[in-house]
Structures are given as structure tokens and as C-alpha cells.
Amino acid sequence: MILFAGRPSDSRKGLPLFLEAVAILTTLSKLPAFSVWIVGGSPREVSSVSSLIHRISSLHDLQLKGRIQLWGRVENAALAEIYSRASVTVVPSHREEFGIVAVEAMMCGCPVVSARTGGLEDIIADGLTGTLFTADDALGLAATLTAYLRNHHQRDLHGESARRRAQSYFAKSELLTHVVQLYDADSFESKHSPEQSKPNREELLTRERMSRIKAIVGDDQISVNHATKGRHPVFSVDVGENRFIAKFFTSRYSLQASLFPEIDGLSPVRGGLISYHRELYNRQNPLAPTIRFLEATGEPLIVTQWYRPLTDVSDEVLDNMISKALLRCQSHLPLPECETLTEYESALKDVTERQDSSSFHRFDLASAKLNLRMTGERLTQCRTHPQVELLRFQILMSENIWPLPLEFRSRTHQAIELLLNHQEIIMEQPALAHGDPKPEHLLVDATGEMLIADFEHSRYTVGPCDLALWLTFTGVRGRLEANAVQVCDRIYKHCRTWQERYLCACWVVSEVIFFAVHRFLSGERRELQVTQNFLRDLPFALLNRGLIV
């Protein structure tokens, strides 16, 4: 159930925008059934909302089926019950000084999708307790809602984080006590500065994590610091002259599961033990940092040796180093000839010939089985073959499963068609890939050899997937002026054969589309434009560089 709670007649609250987004949802295919509850308003307001719904036929149909319900104003206790039932609470305000509805919903363990405006930006930890979308963007709101409707683990994880955050920062009696302190001239000055009261990011180095690091490293006299820019619980640990990196593997939801229709049998979760096992699987990988300690119980923890980050290297040298390193990774732990591989090859033929949802389902399961040994026997959705991924996007976009802008759809369609029409599906055995090579993962050992941290996304893939990921990360993502010619030059230079170059180009296109759609479903529109610009120029660049004839 999608919930709107607020005063319907207040134009700042954005109810018409919400209804527009719901109308967009009704046009999408392969979306789980959903209902909409609108809570708040006097009888007069409820009646005017009802008139508004009557004027939009798709919403009127939804209401006739009992899937839109208008509750009017309810008491707080009932409101808490309604928040608890909601999959997601929407706060589509055009303008909002604070947004108490968001806090109430979060307290009840309900994730919040809200416009990026005013206090809502401070209340919601974007991507952690809910999602912020661009204010006044109905398409963007509809897109973020599809992710919550498709992936219940996204709802559950965001909901639980939301509850914790609300309890930490917005408990009423504590805040009112701060107000009362202001009435007393002598007591408040030193007690409550703006910085102290600012809701900041979640505390990563919890007492429990600290004590586990101490216990596993076996030394009380250690210094522990957060080691990444993001919100991942990764810490540098100094013990005397030794330094380690301690990483906790938290449970996260699968991005694929939020993007694509649910696939029976595949886990919509990632992180946690799945990532832990991927790291262990790569323990002997020549590119992996040396593991010093590990612990699978509770929130899995791995402590590795610390290595110097790779810095001060020119882009060209870095490209050379990484392409060689990724080749080494590809030759590590090849898949044995076995029934699983045979099943995969058969599923690949099937998906090529039939291109329907059951053949994709079979292919995804067969791909997941290739990776079973590295995921701790858990079946997870893994993008394995770049042409299949392009085919998947082509079909799902034609089926209108995401509310994507028309220009984005036409650009992606053009690029995919160009690549797929050019070449039959390539039957090649998948090889090991790191799965997430990016600059902050590059390390150097004492002998000057390159290592790559974080094997938690590793999987078996066809073609130079890692190189393509590296190229998109360093040449496309976030760049409105991404240069397609430069990306194609780099493909040409670092791939040895025509087939490798072609597969690399397919991976690049698949990856930029995936990332753009994922960001859009996470409330960010900019990456759609980045990808549109890149795909506009790509066909010329591919042709000019002879990557397709």
C-alpha cells in the first residue's frame, strides 16, 4: 500500500503530483498490484480529492476496484497503524519547512519517498531510510515507487533504518527538553549548539562493531577510524605498527531486484553472508588483499592487510595496469566443465531463440548457479552476458516497465539495436570478474604489484566485463560531456580481438543503461541525461573506430 498522509487542500503538500504519479504507475507493466490510501482532510477536502480522482480515468478505475481509499482525518493512534501497514509513505510536497509526516512514518518503520525540499532533506537519509526525488517531478516519483513495489527487501531494509533514525534524532520528549533549556538563560548556552543537534549520518562505528574489531584483532590498544567516503562500515585499524582494514558486510537489497520484475528463486538481497562468501572465494585470487582475520557470525567481518592506495599514476598508465590486472583475474578459477555450465549454455541458446520471460527466467537461474560456489550456495541475480542484458533492456523498455522519458528510451533503443543487429549471440565460456573495479579499490603491495579491494561483487561473466565497468566508471558515469570517442579508443587499445572489443562495447552500453535507470529509480534524473548524451554519440564512435562495421 502506498500512503499519502497530509492536508489535501494545502497546495504545498503536492497531492495532485502524487495522483499524477499514481496514474503513471497504472500505465506500467509487470508491476505488483498496489493500493493507495489517502489519509487526512475534512469531509469537504475528501470530497474535492474524490472529484479530482473522478477526472482521471485510470485513477477512477483504480478506485472502483477498491484500490484507492480516502480516509479523511484520523486520530494519531490510528495513524500509527496506517503507517505500519504502508509499504511506503509519500511526501510529495512542493515546499516543506519540516515534514512531521515523514518522521511519524519513519517511527513506525515505514520508508519515506519525499520531494527533495526543505527539512525533508534532513529528515530522510537518502537511499538508506527512503528516497528523495526532484520536487514537482511526477515521473521521478513514479520511478522511485516502482523500486519499492518490486523489491520488498528494499522496503524492509529502509523501513528498519528509518525507525532507528527517527528514534535516534526525533524522539519528542528529548527535543522538547532542549526547547525548555532555551527558556533558562543560564543553562542553555553550553548545552545545545546547532552542530550538536544537527541530525547527521548514521553512526557507523557502533560499540558492538568496535568490540568485535578489538576481539578479533586481539588488542585493546588499537585506533579505529572510518576508512571510506561513503556509509559502508569499513574501518582502518592501527595496532602498533601494523595497519588493517576491517569490513563489516551489512545486508543490502539487490539493485537488480529493484529494477527488474521479481524472479522466483533468486534472492532479492545482497551484502551480508553473500558478499562475505564472495570475498572468501577470491581468497587465493592474485589481485585480492591478504585476509588476516574473519568471522561469519552476526554481521560478517573480514579483516585484511592494509595496502597503500594507488595514486599519482597517469590515466594511460592506469588503464594499462588495470587491463592487465583484470586479465589475470579472468584466468583465475576457471569454471569446470560440468552440468551447471551445460545448463547455462542451453539456457543461453533458449533465451536467444525465444526471448520471452520464461527463457530469461531460466537463463537467470542458470547464471546464478554458475556463481553458487562463491555466494555461499545462494542464488542471486547476476548479469553474466552483455548481449543478453541488452536484449533484456530492449524487451523490458518496449513493455514499458519503467516510467522513463521518451528520449531516453529512443536513445537506448537505437544503441541496443545497433549492437544486437550486428552480431549473433556469442557463445563463450564465462570467466571470473572482479565486478566493481573503480579507482578507490586500487591498491599496491610492497613489491609494487597492483591489487584490487572488494571482491564482493565478483561473478562469472562473458567478455571483458571488468574493463567495461572500469571505462564507464572513469569515462561516462556522472559526466554530462562523456566522450564516446575516447571510450571507444580505450576499448580498441585494451582489447585484443574484435570479439573482445564488441563484447566490451556491449557491456559498456548495458552498464550505462543499468546505472542510469537505477539512479532514476533512486530519485536522481541527471544520469539519464548523461547516458542519453553518451548514447547519442556512441554509434558514430563505434563506426568510426571500426568496433562495428
Partner 1 sequence: MNVTGDPRHIGLVCFVADPFDPPGHERFGGGHLFLFDLGRFLVTQGYRVTQVTRRNSSEKPVFDQIGPMYSIVRLAVGPPEEISPFNVGLCLNELSQAFEHTIAEKKLEFMALHSHYWIGGEVVRRFCAAHQIRHVHSILSLGRVNREKGEALTASSAIREECEVNVINSADAVIAVCPSELADLKRLYPEVDLSKVHIIPYGVDPDVFYPRPQSESDFVRRQTIRFPQGPALIS
Q: How far is the CB of 42 from partner 1 (least distance, A)?
A: 4
Q: Is 168 in the site for partner 1 (CB under 8 A)?
A: no
Among 164-172, 390-398, 459-467, 496-504, the segment contacting partner 1 (CB under 8 A): 164-172
| Phi, psi torsion values for 419, nearest 5 degrees | -75, -45
Burial of 510 (0-12, 13-18, 19+ CB in 10 A): buried
- The DSSP annotation for 341-367 comes to HHHHHHHHHHHHHH-SHHHHHHHHHHH
User: For residues 347-366, which are near partner 1 according to CB under 8 A?
Assistant: none
Q: How far is the CB of 520 from partner 1 (least distance, A)?
A: 24
Q: Which residues contact 10 (CB under 8 A, 6 or more apart)?
A: none
Q: How far is the CB of 22 from partner 1 (least distance, A)?
A: 15
* Cell numbers representing residue 233 in the block: 562500515
Would you give the binding string for partner 1 spanning residues 8-47, x where CB under 8 A is met?
Answer: -xx--------------------------x-xxxx--xxx
Q: For the packed helices 76-85 and 100-107, what is the interaxial angle rounded to 10 degrees?
A: 70
In contact, 526 and 401? CB cutoff 8 Å: no
How many whole angstroms separate alpha carbon 527 and alpha carbon 512?
A: 9
Q: How far is the CB of 258 from partner 1 (least distance, A)?
A: 22
Q: How far is the CB of 27 from partner 1 (least distance, A)?
A: 22
Q: How far is the CB of 50 from partner 1 (least distance, A)?
A: 5
If we measure between CA atoms, which residue out of 296, 267, 284, 278 comes closest to residue 435? 278
> Which residue, 104 or 456, is less far from partner 1 as judged by CB?
104
> Which residue, 38 or 416, is less far from partner 1 as judged by CB?
38
Q: Is 171 in the site for partner 1 (CB under 8 A)?
A: yes
User: For residues 174-193, which are near partner 1 according to CB under 8 A?
Assistant: 174-176, 178-180, 182-185, 188, 192-193
Among 92-100, 243-251, 267-275, 331-339, the segment contacting partner 1 (CB under 8 A): 92-100
Q: How far is the CB of 173 from partner 1 (least distance, A)?
A: 7
Q: How far is the CB of 34 from partner 1 (least distance, A)?
A: 16
Q: How far is the CB of 43 from partner 1 (least distance, A)?
A: 8
In contact, 71 and 36? CB cutoff 8 Å: no
How many whole angstroms separate alpha carbon 19 and alpha carbon 37?
A: 11
Among 49-57, 286-294, 320-328, 494-502, the segment contacting partner 1 (CB under 8 A): 49-57
Burial of 546 (0-12, 13-18, 19+ CB in 10 A): exposed
Q: Characterise 35 by phi-psi region: left (phi > 0), alpha (psi -120 to 50), beta (else).
A: beta
Q: Is 104 in the site for partner 1 (CB under 8 A)?
A: yes
How many whole angstroms separate alpha carbon 250 and alpha carbon 235?
A: 14
Q: How far is the CB of 58 from partner 1 (least distance, A)?
A: 15
User: For residues 190-219, which are near partner 1 according to CB under 8 A?
Assistant: 192-194, 197-199
How many whole angstroms separate alpha carbon 295 and alpha carbon 280?
A: 11
Contacts of the segment 132-136: beta carbons below 8 A, 24+ positions apart: 132/523, 133/523, 134/523, 134/524, 134/525, 135/14, 135/93, 135/94, 135/95, 136/14, 136/17, 136/94
User: For residues 437-456, which are near partner 1 according to CB under 8 A?
Assistant: none
* Interface with partner 1 (CB under 8 A), residue from 166, 370, 491, 528: 166
> Which residue, 19 or 467, is less far from partner 1 as judged by CB?
19
> Which residue, 84 or 358, is less far from partner 1 as judged by CB?
84
Give the Cα-Cα-Cα angle 73, 78, 80 (nearest 5 degrees): 110
> Which residue, 83 or 363, is less far from partner 1 as judged by CB?
83
* Interface with partner 1 (CB under 8 A), residue from 26, 126, 164, 170: 170
* Interface with partner 1 (CB under 8 A), residue from 27, 32, 65, 78: 78
> Which residue, 70 or 416, is less far from partner 1 as judged by CB?
70
> Which residue, 167 or 398, is less far from partner 1 as judged by CB?
167
Q: Is 163 in the site for partner 1 (CB under 8 A)?
A: yes
- The DSSP annotation for 251-306 comes to EEE-HHHHHSPP-TTSBSEEEHHHHHHHHHHTTT-TTSPPEEEEE-SSS-EEEEE-
